[in-house]
Structure 1
Amino acid sequence: MEKFYQQKTEETLKHFESDRKQGLSGKEADKRLEKYGENTIQQQESLSVWELLWHNLNNLIVYLLLAAALLSFAMGETIEGIAVLIAVVIAVMTGFITELRAQKSIDSLQSMIYTTAKVIRDGEVMEIESAKIVPGDILVLEEGDAIAADA
């Protein structure tokens, strides 16, 4: 990976085929957006309800408790076996509900994130969605601006 921060400004502009005053043309920016994709972090897909439930069922403690319940039933201790099964159901459902709520919170927070950036395109300063920044864009930064992490 090239270290553009160590290069002279003109070398970097030449590499990205960009102009200091004009920036990229809108047409060129669209081409680069199509070529490189949006400037976003790939979001991990949310687990389905069944995957979350399986995730909570498939662990060592649940297996040990189920074995204890089976052993209780085999020894004729029906009440103890039922009590252990109830404990398993409570533990699994508590974990499942907690993870489901956390996942929904994360999904809603991610949908609320919307950042913009000022760039020079076609010689004009314009504000665009940060996801639409492409290699070669000239960013216009002012005091207090939030900067897209990899811009």
Structure 2
Amino acid sequence: MSLDTTDRRILAVLQRQGRISNADLAEKVNLSASACHRRVQRLETEGYIAGYVALLDARKMGVPSTVFVEITLSTQADEVLEAFEKAVARIPDVLECHLTAGAADYILKVVAEDTEDFARIHRRSLARLPGVAKMQSSFALRTVSKTTALPV
């Protein structure tokens, strides 16, 4: 199914206001409540809406530091990639892991309390990941732009 303008408006609103009532959503996108509800259900069923979450404040949760870690593996063998990916998925401090093209094989987004906490994460978790040949870490000094909303 392709998305029409109304579907895109629904998705744009839901990305920014995931807890909006169906009645308010319907009003914002100029639909009846029942038609809006049917469209949202269809968007969920067809996988356009993958889920709903609460976005937490990292500072209030005690992990205000964001560190981007570039990882280069010793080899690109499938079994090494699979072992690395399974192991990294089990580290709760790693919010994102991306297989990349370029100088590094993976880029991780890691949260930490501070530099000492990151040193602990590095020593106890990251340095023990299978197949790692090289790591380079960069601390984010300030977040300039951040969104979870995809362009619709």
TM-score (norm 1): 0.24
Q: Which has the larger radius of gyration?
A: 1
> Whose strand fraction is larger, Structure 1's or Structure 2's?
2
Structure with larger RCO (C-alpha < 8 A, sep 6+)? 1
TM-score (norm 2): 0.24
